[in-house]
Structures are given as C-alpha cells and as structure tokens.
Chain A
Amino acid sequence: AQKVTQAQTEISVVEKEDVTLDCVYETRDTTYYLFWYKQPPSGELVFLIRRNSFDEQNEISGRYSWNFQKSTSSFNFTITASQVVDSAVYFCALSVGGYSTLTFGKGTMLLVSP
C-alpha cells in the first residue's frame, strides 16, 4: 500500500522568509509519480509539479523549488522569499505506476504574515 506523510500540520512564517514543506512517501513499486498541489483559501486545487521516480533532478520554478531524494523517500518543497499570496494548504500526492489511484498526504497549512 502507498502512503504519503506530511508531518507538518501548520507552518507560520513572516513574509520574505524561506520555508520548506516536507513530504515523505512509502511505496514498494519502482515506478511511481509524485505531485504537489496548492489549495488557496478560495478552495480550488492547483497543480504545481509532477515528478516520476526515474527523474531525481531537482526543479526550480521562480520562487518554488523541489528536492526529490529517493534515498530518503522524500519530495520536499521550498518556497524562497515567501509572500502573503503563498498562504494556502499544500498537498503532496503519490501515484504508483500501473494503478490509477492518487494517494494524498494530509496537507500542510502555510500561513505567511506580512
């Protein structure tokens, strides 16, 4: 069975601070896909990134960066110079190759105050 753990339930930072959201996953499959979604206060789910298990390259997109480490089964998400608009709940999710279910973590609520 697959499992995604987001140990940080809630994080509060002040604007311009860097913040890292942790995601640890469990699966016995060698082919899998990892995702991050953002849920702002308005409630919709916004896709941020997808990474497959064969691609351990880290990715940077503007102020966002992702660190994928198979050795520690982690797929952490860092926001550099956080802004108030980054306040949201962030979900990490896992899908295993050959199956069609998406397993979400419980989410981390990020509050960025001015």
Chain B
Amino acid sequence: EAQVTQNPRYLITVTGKKLTVTCSQNMNHEYMSWYRQDPGLGLRQIYYSMNVEVTDKGDVPEGYKVSRKEKRNFPLILESPSPNQTSLYFCASSLWGPSGTDTQYFGPGTRLTVL
C-alpha cells in the first residue's frame, strides 16, 4: 500500500531534549516536505526536499533541521525543542512537488508537546 509513515504519532518531551521525528515513503517520490499545523494558522511549510541531498527552507524553518540521505526518508530534527514548537506535524511526499501534476500524499501526523 502506497503510504507516508511518521513516527512517533504522539510525543511529549521537555524543553531542550533533542528529538527526531521520522518520515518514510514507499512510493519512490522525489519530493518530500514537512509542515506544522497550529490552530488559527493552518499548515505552514517547515522544510522541503526536491531529491536526495537537496533540501531547502520553507516558511518557518527556525529551530528545525532536516536531512535527506535516502530517497525514502526525510527526518525532522529538533535540536533543542521549545514550547513554541508544540504542534501537529505532517510529512508529505509527491513525485515531483506541488507545482507538478501529481498528488501530494500526507502522513498521519505527529502531535508533539514540549513542556
């Protein structure tokens, strides 16, 4: 089954404790992206990757890191999480990117709480 998986689905952590949210897709997609969703703000793009070893900032990259060492994986890293990073995070992938004619598939979301 074609899908985007994220782990963990739920995470409660404390300020400053490094964490990684994994994202994996099995569709051989070139493009992957991370978004955060906050009440009243909709979804905002954090980082995206056009292909392996190529990443770029979205609208709200501060406090986050990503890497794309393999096509299927695109982990989101919070080196020193802060309470303002408490949010619902979505990973997404598509064949070429949202400017193409393909569909962007979203993962199930990761709800992160930083105390």
Contact = CB atoms under 8 A, between A and B. Distances in A.
B90 to A, nearest CB: 6
A47 B40 CA distance: 20
A95 B99 CA distance: 6
A47 B104 contact: yes
A100 interface: yes
Given A91-B42, A102-B45, A104-B43, A33 B99 contact: yes
**Chain B interface secondary structure, helix, strand, loop or mixed?**
strand
A41 interface: no
Contact of B41 (A33, A44, A102, A106): A106
Contacts, number: 63
Contact of A102 (B33, B40, B105): B33
A64 interface: no
Interface in B50-65: 50, 56, 58-59
B74 interface: no
A101 B58 contact: yes
A50 B97 CA distance: 13
Contacts of A50: 101, 103
* Interface size class, chain B: 20 to 34
Interface residues of A, number: 25
B99 A104 contact: no
Contacts of B45: 101-103
Contact of A35 (B48, B97, B98): B98
Contacts of B81: none
A98 interface: yes
Given A43-B109, A45-B90, A47-B104, A100 B97 contact: yes
B101 A101 contact: no
> Which among A33, A50, A98, A100 has the greatest number of chain B C-beta atoms within 10 A?
A100
Contact of A101 (B48, B88, B105): B48
The 6 closest A-B pairs by CB, nearest first: A95-B98, A106-B42, A45-B106, A102-B98, A104-B43, A100-B97
Given A93-B98, A99-B99, A100-B33, 8 more contacts: A6-B42, A45-B43, A50-B103, A101-B59, A102-B104, A103-B59, A104-B43, A106-B40
